[in-house]
């Protein structure tokens, strides 16, 4: 499960369509490697601009902070894969944040996959036939793994 929590000042994503476009781009990044679309969760958290401080001061332009949690697939420990991952994220954010002149930063945490369940199911192994079935159905279903 990738979970993206996007903290942003009011007005930086002014329409539902602007949020939908970014969420769709984020989701496409993960479905292209075979993850089910429902694994991808994007939450927009709007904050008053007077509640965002960088270096102890209000920023002079919109400041967007993104916290990303990865559970389904891990890249830590492989510098080439890590670089590719952060470059992919840069490319996703460019038209939605960077090209608008916003200041921004993100970080990625990787949670052990064993500490994750979806609707009571332990998700099937990455790129397994069971996970492909979840992706096809776009929902979690019994797959014969340990679901306690």
| Residue 145: per-residue pLDDT | 73
Extract the tokens encoding 7: 């903290």
Q: How far apart are the first and last CA of the chain?
A: 19
Bridge partners of 70? 2, 110
Catalogue all structural domains in the chain, each as residue range(s) with its CATH number. Answer: 2-137 (3.30.429.10)
**Spatial CA neighbour of 88 closest among 27, 18, 43, 21:** 27
| Residue 74: per-residue pLDDT | 83
For residue 106, give the DSSP letter.
E
pLDDT tens digits, 33-92 = 999 999 999 999 999 999 999 999 998 899 999 999 999 988 778 899 899 999 999 999
* Contact predicate 10/48, CB 8 Å: yes
Residue 144: CA atoms inside 13 Å, Cβ hemisphere, count? 5
| Residue 144: per-residue pLDDT | 85
Task: Give the pLDDT mean for 108-114.
Answer: 91
pLDDT exceeds 70 at position 148 = no
């Amino acid at each position: 499960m990738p979970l993206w929590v996007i903290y942003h000042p009011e007005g930086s994503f002014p329409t539902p369509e602007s949020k939908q476009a970014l969420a769709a781009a984020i989701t496409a990044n993960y479905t292209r490697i075979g993850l089910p679309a429902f694994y991808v969760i994007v939450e927009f958290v709007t904050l008053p601009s007077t509640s965002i401080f960088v270096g102890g001061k209000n920023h002079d332009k919109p400041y967007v902070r993104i916290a990303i949690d990865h559970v389904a697939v891990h890249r830590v420990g492989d510098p080439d894969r890590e670089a590719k991952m952060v470059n992919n994220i840069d490319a996703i954010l460019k038209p939605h944040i960077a090209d608008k002149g916003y200041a921004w930063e993100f970080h990625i945490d990787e949670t052990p996959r064993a500490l994750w369940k979806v609707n009571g199911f332990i998700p099937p192994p990455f790129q397994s036939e069971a996970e492909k079935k979840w992706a096809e159905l776009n929902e979690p279903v019994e797959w014969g793994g340990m679901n306690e």
